[in-house]
Amino acid sequence: MTSQLSQLTERPSWKALQSHRSLFNEKNLKELFAQDQDRGKKMSLDAIGLFLDFSKNRITEETVQLLVKLAEESGLRERIDSMFRGDKINISENRAVLHVALRAPKGEKMIVDGEDVVPKVHEVLERMSCFATSIRSGEWKGYSGKSIKNIINIGIGGSDLGPVMAYEALRFYSKRSMNFRFVSNVDATDFVEATRDLDPSETLFIVSSKTFGTLETLTNAHSARDWLLKGMGGDSKAVAKHFAAVSTNATKVAEFGIDTANMFGFWDWVGGRYSMDSAIGLSTMIAIGPEHFNEMLAGFHSMDEHFRTAPFEKNLPVLLGLLSVWYNNFFGAQTVAVLPYDQYLKRFPAYLQQLTMESNGKHVTLEGTAVSAETGPIYWGEPGTNGQHSFYQLIHQGTRLIPCDFITFYKGLNPLGRHHDLLVSNVFAQAEALAFGKTKEQVQAEGTPETLIPHRVFEGNRPSNILLADSLTPETLGKLVALYEHNVFTQGAIWGIDSFDQWGVELGKVLAQKIIPELENPIEPPLQHDSSTNNLISLYRKNR
- Residues with catalytic annotation? 358, 389, 509
Site string for ligand G6Q, 16-55 (x = CB under 6 A): ----------------------------------------
Let me know: does 250 contact 260? Beta carbons within 8 Å. Answer: yes
Buried b (16+ CB within 10 A) or exposed e, 232-252: beeeeebbebbbbbbbbbeeb
With binding defined as CB under 6 A, does residue 271 bind ligand G6Q?
Answer: yes
277 binds ligand G6Q (CB under 6 A): no
Sorted by sequence, the CB contacts under 8 Å of residue 409 that are 6+ apart come out as 341, 342, 468, 469, 470, 471, 472, 476
Helices within 331-448 (DSSP H only)? 348-360, 392-397, 419-436, 440-445
Cβ 94 to ligand G6Q, closest distance in Å? Answer: 15
Q: How far apart are CB 185 and ligand G6Q at their closest, in Å? A: 13
| Contact with ligand G6Q (CB under 6 A) among 209, 262, 328, 473 | 209
Residue 274 vs 436, nearer CB to ligand G6Q: 274
SS3 343: helix
Collapsing DSSP to helix, strand or coil, 47 comes out as strand
In terms of C-beta density within 10 A (0-12 exposed, 13-18 middle, 19 or more buried), how is residue 301 classed?
A: buried
Q: Which residues contact 429 (CB under 8 A, 6 or more apart)?
A: none
Least distance in angstroms from the C-beta of 428 to ligand G6Q:
35
Span 366-405, contacts to ligand G6Q by CB under 6 A: none
- Under a CB-based contact definition with an 8 Å cutoff, are residues 269 and 154 in contact? no
Between 365 and 502, CB nearer to ligand G6Q: 502
Q: Which stretch binds ligand G6Q (CB under 6 A): 68-76, 154-162, 256-264, 373-381?
A: 154-162
Which of 75, 86, 142, 158 touches ligand G6Q (CB under 6 A)?
158
274 or 380: CB nearest ligand G6Q: 274
- Minimum CB separation from ligand G6Q for residue 271, in Å? 5
Residue (of 217, 222, 272, 276) closest to 248 by Cα position: 272
Q: Residue 210 or 292: which CB sits closer to ligand G6Q?
A: 210
Q: Which of 210, 225, 396, 479 binds ligand G6Q (CB under 6 A)?
A: 210
Binding mask 212-231 for ligand G6Q (x = CB under 6 A): --x--x--------------
CB atoms within 10 A of CB 502: 21
Asked if 415 and 383 touch (Cβ cutoff 8 Å), the reply is: no
**Residue 182 parent element (H or E):** strand 179-183
**Would you say 74 or 491 has its CB closer to ligand G6Q?**
491
User: What is the contact surface with ligand G6Q in residues (CB under 6 A)?
Assistant: 156-159, 209-211, 214, 217, 271-273, 358, 502
